Amino acid sequence: MKRFSRIAVAVPLFLATVTAFGHEVPVGSTPEENRAWFEGSYQAYKRKALWSARKMDARQPRPVASAAPFALDAIRHAEAAFGAKSPYVRELWLDIADAYTMAGKTEKSLRILDQLLLNQRLQFGDRAPELIPIFVAMGKAYWRYEQRNVKAGLHAFRSAFEVAKIHFGENSKEVATLWLERGKLVPSLDLRRETKVSLERANKLARQYRKEDPRFYIEILLGIGDGYMDAGFVKSAYENYVKAIKWQQKSTPANDDLIPLAQGNAAQAAILLGWLGNASAHFSILQDYLTSARPTEDFHAYFLARSGPHYPREAREQEIVGEVQVRYSVDPIGRTTDITIEESAHPLLDQAAIECVGTWIFMPAARDGRFVRQDGLQVRLEFRLAD
């Protein structure tokens, strides 16, 4: 999810070799071989890019530079194998734009999205479904951080809704997902009422699919929980996480891969509500799952549930601001441990940062078919007063 300037150069397929992961890899003798190899390369590069991007969930702008090369390498390989108009390429440019948005670099994000929108319109037309994720990404960029443009953000989402309704219908899964995305974004504008309206519409539309497609309904419920958490409605968030857990437990076929996300988020919400017995029960189920699960690939720890730091009242009254750099580890069952301050801002802010990181829940790192501890993780938390 990181940023660079637009790369329009595609590596010609007739080249004898291409470079991937630092190795010279022969191009296949047939288009099928070529595409199979490049698709594997694309997925591997994308995992690396997304791992770097996940670090930014806690507002760390610095990983942008580290993820960009991975994403750009993935784009080069996807262009070489499938062409510059490939959906793989579009998806990666959206990842990169999203990374800049998350890092607060909205101008870079919007430059990429403007160019991508123009290219896709020329290729597919003004009302093509391929434009929907671009409009959503623009809404994110306009609504987040300092360069907020409410009118432009609303216009971007209106465009997304118009296209989705034309192609998929008013009550479609795609429209439900758009309401969810909108509800998860408006908290950044402090429009709590709008948050509720959007999330309730998402729930209403998704409910009609709960038996036909229980996984879709579970994922919508988890997203609604996230939206409520971001807006400060912790009890409503917990209720939706628990509802998702109940549907996951009775769904056929079982969606066991959603257990960590559902139980982890429910546990954190319970902690924030002071319901430690509930939190312990969710942790127990999560621990059982992680103990018995056997990951099929290696990966770094990544967020299941996290929330921003609480601004201490005393610090707010004294107008104390600053950034705190925190170092921590993640144990094999996804809990943060060994939390220390690397760069201090003020004792009040330091303590708030430690308490914040202490509530985070991760999918632990995996290596050689088992979950393992990961050390040396860092995050920079910012405390500032609203304008």
Per-residue pLDDT band at 26 (split at 50, 70, 90): very low
**Does 133 have pLDDT greater than 70?**
yes
- What is the pTM (predicted TM-score) of this model? 0.73
Distance from first CA to last CA of the chain, Å, rounded?
Answer: 28
Q: State the Cα torsion 273-306-186-129 to the nearest 10°.
A: -130
More confident residue, 60 or 363: 363
Among 32-36, 218-222, 380-384, the least confident range: 32-36
CATH number of 294-387: 3.30.2420.10
Pairwise CA distance, residues 307 & 147, whole Å: 22
**Does 22 have pLDDT greater than 80?**
no
More confident residue, 323 or 70: 323
Q: What is the pLDDT, as a whole number, of residue 154?
A: 85
Residues in the chain: 387
The number of beta carbons lying within 10 Å of the beta carbon of residue 386 is 6
Percent of the chain scored above 70 by pLDDT?
Answer: 77
pLDDT tens, residue by residue, 180-234: 999 887 766 666 778 889 999 999 999 999 989 999 999 999 999 999 988 889 9
**Which has the closest alpha carbon to 322: 381, 270, 365, 378?**
381
- Region 79-102: mean pLDDT is 77
Pairwise CA distance, residues 248 & 158, whole Å: 32
Domain ranges of the chain: 294-387
Q: What is the pLDDT, as a whole number, of residue 188?
A: 63
Per-residue pLDDT band at 331 (split at 50, 70, 90): very high
**Does 6 have pLDDT greater than 50?**
no
Per-residue pLDDT band at 117 (split at 50, 70, 90): very high
Q: What is the pLDDT, as a whole number, of residue 152?
A: 86
- Region 253-274: mean pLDDT is 88
